[in-house]
Structure 1
Amino acid sequence: MSDQEDILATAAGWLAEGETVALATVVETWGSSPRPAGSQLAVTAGGRLAGSVSGGCIEGAVADAARKTMETGAPQLLDFGISDERAWEVGLACGGKLKVFVEKLA
């Protein structure tokens, strides 16, 4: 089983337990990005995490966005990059860019 399958299996298990779950997926990268496209992070409303979209540097910001997506049901496309002020706030000063799609699982 691949890492991605493990994350999806974990998310499915959390859903089966009655948790509200969001899935974040790296959909685009440029330059020195911490994780490749396809990398995923599952987040529950209760605060559990599985996987990674950045090796840690933007996980907190993505988890915050996932909580909002779980509350509203509205998916989000997050854009992190060196020219973005938020990149410095969350620790993405590596010179890369990435886009992360966040969706609520049902």
Structure 2
Amino acid sequence: MSDQEDILGTAAEWLGQGETVALATVVETWGSSPRPAGSQLAVTASGRMAGSVSGGCIEGAVAEVAQKTMQDGQPQLLDFGISDERAWEVGLACGGKLKVFVEKLV
């Protein structure tokens, strides 16, 4: 079973338990990116999380947007990036970008 299947299964289980759930999916990467396109993070309104879209460096920001998306139902496309010049400051060998799509599951 792949990581993606695990996340989707967990999200489905949470939905079945009556939780409100949002799913964040990496849809595009460029340069240094800790997780590949297709990586997912499931978030519940009660604060449960499963999976990863970045190895931890942007999960908090994505979880905040997921909370808003669960409230208003509006999907969002998030754009994160760091320049080559600033990459060393956060422990990356080079800069990179990623786009994350956040949607409420129903």
Same fold (TM over 0.5): yes
Q: Is the 8 A contact 1:57 1:92 kept in 2?
A: no
- Structure label with greater radius of gyration: 2
Show the 5 A alignment for 1:27-38: 27-38=27-38
After superposition, the C-alpha distances for 1:5-51 in whole angstroms (9 at most, x for unaligned) are: 00000000000000000000000000001100000000000000000
Identity %: 82
- Cα pair distance change 1:8/1:92, threshold 3 Å: farther
- Cα pair distance change 1:22/1:3, threshold 3 Å: same
Unpaired segments of 5 or more residues in structure 1?
none
Give me the whole-angstrom Cα distance separating, in 1, the residues matched to 2:36 and 2:96.
11
TM-score, normalising length: structure 1:
0.90
- Cα pair distance change 1:2/1:26, threshold 3 Å: same
Q: What's the C-alpha RMSD, in Å, of the aligned pairs?
A: 1.9
Counterpart residue identity of residue 40, structure 2: Q
1:103 paired residue number: 103
After superposition, the C-alpha distances for 1:54-91 in whole angstroms (9 at most, x for unaligned) are: 000000000000000000000000000015xxxx9xx9
How many residues align? The count is 101
TM-score, normalising length: structure 2:
0.90
Give me the whole-angstrom Cα distance separating, in 2, the residues matched to 1:49 and 1:102.
14
Following TM superposition, the consecutive aligned residue runs of length 4 or more in structure 1 with deviations greater than 2 angstroms are: 91-94
- The alignment status of 1:75 with 2:88, answered yes or no, reads no
Unpaired segments of 5 or more residues in structure 2?
none
Give me the whole-angstrom Cα distance separating, in 1, the residues matched to 2:12 and 2:57.
25
